[in-house]
Amino acid sequence: MAPRRPKAAGAAPARAQPGRRPVLVTGFAPVGGEAINPSWEICRALPAAIGRSPLETLLVPTQFRRAIEVVAEAIERTDPTLVILLGQAGGRACVSVERVAINIDDARIADNAGARPIDEPVAAAGPPAYFATVPIKAMVAAIRDAGIPAEVSNSAGTFVCNHLFYGTLHYLAASGRDARAGFIHVPWLESQAVSRPGEPAMALATMVRGVEAAIAAALATAEDVKMAAGQLD
């Protein structure tokens, strides 16, 4: 069965009117013994608004189930037009805009509450997968136009990042809300790579510029651009 694509909301303008619904941007708490998580550091460094669209940032616990609950509560509270979930993907060399979330948890390590689900569905009654409802290729193009390496990724993993990505799309589909949602993975911060010789890393300021460009593109784009972004392996 093909991944389900939830009904996307209408396009948001690049510059909205005063009182516009916000963009919700989330980042995770550190996990796996790390002292920092670039996804949350990006949230802390983002401006208060992009164009006339206010940004609401949210720190999400790196925990199965609880992460979805926290984001769903924030969506209920803020009624965003756009939800951009950020996560750390150590080992990747560029900003990765995720295409698809899959209905599986398969944790290589425990989350911050000690949970380690293996081969369990995110939602027992949910479809096998959901596609992102943001214009992923337009977002990648905008990040590249800002001079930052970026790619479309076809796997968000099977840890809490994918869990939250799938859970958010499932919640939006089930609740009938019109917010569009997507997930962006970012590399290690330079400080995290010091103890990992040869591992790729990126400066925080560069990541922030990339995420800003991606959000602006998502707000401005009604229909995604046609651009080859597939992979051979």
Residues labelled as active-site residues: 98, 161, 185
Show the tokens assigned to 5: 């694509």
Helix, strand or coil, per DSSP, at residue 67: helix
CA distances from 185 to 31, 91, 124 (A): 15, 11, 25
CB atoms closer than 10 angstroms to residue 155: 15
How far apart CA 60 and CA 26 sit, in angstroms, is 7
- The answer to whether 78 and 132 are in contact (CB under 8 A) is no
H/E element, 190: helix 190-193
Q: Under 8 Å CB-to-CB from 194, ≥6 apart: which residues?
A: none
Phi-psi region of 17 (alpha: psi -120 to 50; beta: other; left: phi over 0): beta
